[in-house]
């Protein structure tokens, strides 16, 4: 859930009971005010009737009156100091219920007791209360919606600097991090956040430059001594005075140095890929490159007696630097040959939007997250591999907006490259 949505929700949860309590209080106050005026009218009417009864008593007349709204008759009941006022329901001539406000009291008139009961219809009052309640409900709903919209608009405005910073973080590229700068805002907390982000991105970029420089320098510095030692060892192998054991030892050293040289070249290539030194792109037909490498690897294929099945239904054309395209196919096809067993098979299927290569293998299925990891040797012979082949494939795919997937089933390893 978004923070803006969450804050608005919390505001909503807080506002509903407050508005409900406020509405309930106003409704009760309104009811009390209406009852106060009604009671005042009832008491005023009662006083008028008491004065009337006193005038009649002076004339020696006993007064009796009984209607639905007014009842006056003599009584021997105890005199009451204060009137009793209650709400009750009566019925009209049609039998429909009518709400009443009733005053009743036993009063003393010239020494005689009279029961006075006065009823006042509350139909108009009930209609008035209904109308006022409806109006209050609409007002409160309108107020609530307006407050909610106002709060949402203000919150959205306040969180704008945060969203800008978040969008910048999402678009950050390590190679271009130097140009990333988080601007100052008029909100202190966001300024503190942006200052921390500026410091963090600066430090990450600096560490990245140092690591890149070290990798490039180390690879370059290693290349010359490795080449010199390898050359000397190859000359030594031409010495006919060497014993068989010595020859084998030298051969092992040569193989190890060749492996180190390949690793060095791979590290240099990987550094160039990550530094975007292959930005120039052209339309490359991977179908044609695959055919080229099938011819180049023909000797290795025959040596392992591999069966090649090709389904070139169409051309898989993508925009890619030609060196990266060669490296992509060379590593995929080389991997399929290297880790196959004698008499195995390789199947290559190409369409407009999909490039698939699968091979039989002596290796167990490998987790994709481990398979594409750099210098991972869980699936490779350390004597013949530098552990960077599939890391190259993954890196090339990522920076060129290609999706690469891997799965294994029925003794076959499947690689699938598709356009995103």
For residue 71, the cross-strand partners are 66, 117
Q: What is the pLDDT of residue 1?
A: 62
Confidence band for 3, pLDDT divided at 50, 70 and 90: low
Residue 408 CA to residue 47 CA, distance in Å, equals 102
Q: What is the pLDDT of residue 385?
A: 46
pLDDT digits (tens, 9 = 90+) for 147-190: 778 877 887 788 888 888 888 888 777 766 666 778 888 888 88
pLDDT digits (tens, 9 = 90+) for 355-368: 999 999 988 888 77
pLDDT digits (tens, 9 = 90+) for 113-144: 999 999 888 877 777 777 887 888 888 888 87
% the chain with pLDDT above 90:
21
Q: What is the pLDDT of residue 254?
A: 81
Mean pLDDT (whole number) for 341-351:
94
Q: What is the pLDDT of residue 281?
A: 79
Mean pLDDT (whole number) for 68-78:
89
Check whether 211 has a pLDDT greater than 90. no
CATH of 282-419, one of 3.40.50.920, 3.60.20.10, 3.40.50.150, 3.30.565.10: 3.30.565.10
The residues spanned by each domain of the chain are 3-157, 189-274, 282-419
Inter-residue contact 219 to 268 (CB < 8 Å) = yes
Dig out the tokens for 72 from the structure.
Answer: 């006056």
Mean pLDDT (whole number) for 25-36:
84
Dig out the tokens for 420 from the structure.
Answer: 């995103």
% the chain with pLDDT above 70:
89
Q: Which long-range contacts (CB under 8 A, 24 or more apart) does 288-297 make?
A: 288/315, 289/325, 289/326, 289/329, 290/329, 290/333, 290/348, 290/350, 293/329, 293/330, 293/333, 293/334, 294/333, 297/333, 297/334, 297/337
Check whether 351 has a pLDDT greater than 80. yes
Q: What is the pLDDT of residue 301?
A: 94
Check whether 375 has a pLDDT greater than 60. no
Q: What is the pLDDT of residue 415?
A: 93
Q: How does the average pLDDT of the chain come out, rounded?
A: 82
From the centroid of its chain, how far is CA 319?
32
Q: Which long-range contacts (CB under 8 A, 24 or more apart) does 100-103 make?
A: 101/35, 101/38, 101/39, 101/42, 101/125, 103/39, 103/42, 103/43, 103/46
Distances (CA, A) of 329 to 114, 173, 179, 397: 115, 27, 35, 11
Confidence band for 2, pLDDT divided at 50, 70 and 90: low
pLDDT digits (tens, 9 = 90+) for 319-344: 888 888 888 999 899 989 999 999 99
pLDDT digits (tens, 9 = 90+) for 221-231: 777 777 888 78
Q: What is the pLDDT of residue 386?
A: 42
Of 375, 389, 294, the residue nearest 339 (C-alpha) = 389
**For residues 365 and 406, which has the higher predicted lDDT (pLDDT)?**
406
Dig out the tokens for 381 from the structure.
Answer: 């012979």
CATH T-level fold of 189-274? Helix Hairpins (1.10.287)
For the question of whether the overall pTM of this predicted structure is more than 0.75, the answer is: no
- 260 Cβ neighbours under 8 A, 6+ residues apart: 222, 226
pLDDT digits (tens, 9 = 90+) for 263-303: 777 667 767 776 666 666 789 999 999 999 999 999 999 99
Confidence band for 374, pLDDT divided at 50, 70 and 90: low
Pairing relationship of beta strands 402-409 and 84-91 according to DSSP bridges = unpaired
Q: What is the pLDDT of residue 285?
A: 92
């Amino acid at each position: 859930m978004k923070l803006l949505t969450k804050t608005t929700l919390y505001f909503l949860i807080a506002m509903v009971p407050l508005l409900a309590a406020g509405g309930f209080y106003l409704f009760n106050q309104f009811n009390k005010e209406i009852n106060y005026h009604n009671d005042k009218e009832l008491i005023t009417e009662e006083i008028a009737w008491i004065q009337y009864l006193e005038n009649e008593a002076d004339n020696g007349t006993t007064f009796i009156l009984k209607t639905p709204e007014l009842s006056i008759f003599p009584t021997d009941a105890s005199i009451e100091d204060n009137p009793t006022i209650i709400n009750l329901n009566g019925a009209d001539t049609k039998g429909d219920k009518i709400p009443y406000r009733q005053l009743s009291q036993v009063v003393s008139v010239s020494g005689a007791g009279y029961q006075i009961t006065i009823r006042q219809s509350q139909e108009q009052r009930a209609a008035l209360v209904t109308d006022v309640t409806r109006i209050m409900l609409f007002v409160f709903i309108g107020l609530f919606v307006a407050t909610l919209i106002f709060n949402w608009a203000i919150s959205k405005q306040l969180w704008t600097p945060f969203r800008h910073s978040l969008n910048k973080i999402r678009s950050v590229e390590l190679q271009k991090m130097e140009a990333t700068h988080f601007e100052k805002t008029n909100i202190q907390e966001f300024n503190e956040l942006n200052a921390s982000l500026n410091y963090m991105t600066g430090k990450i970029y600096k560490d990245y430059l140092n690591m890149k420089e070290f990798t490039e320098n180390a690879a370059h510095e290693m290349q010359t001594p490795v080449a010199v030692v390898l050359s000397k060892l190859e000359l030594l192998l031409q010495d006919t005075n060497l014993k068989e054991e010595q020859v084998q030892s030298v051969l092992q050293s040569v193989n190890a140095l060749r492996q180190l040289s390949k690793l060095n070249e791979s590290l240099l290539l990987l550094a160039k890929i990550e530094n975007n030194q292959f930005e120039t792109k052209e339309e490359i037909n991977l179908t044609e490159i695959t055919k080229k490498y099938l011819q180049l690897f023909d000797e290795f294929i025959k040596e392992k007696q591999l069966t090649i099945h090709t389904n070139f239904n169409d051309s898989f054309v993508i925009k890619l630097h030609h060196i990266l395209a060669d490296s992509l196919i060379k590593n995929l096809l080389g991997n399929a040959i290297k880790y196959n067993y004698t008499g195995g098979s390789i199947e290559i299927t190409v369409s407009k939007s999909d490039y698939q290569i699968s091979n039989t293998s002596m290796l167990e299925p490998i987790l994709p997250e481990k398979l594409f990891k750099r210098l991972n040797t869980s699936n490779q012979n350390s004597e013949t591999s530098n552990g960077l082949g599939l890391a190259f494939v993954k890196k090339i795919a990522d920076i060129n907006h290609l999706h690469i997937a891997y799965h294994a089933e029925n003794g076959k390893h499947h690689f699938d490259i598709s356009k995103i």
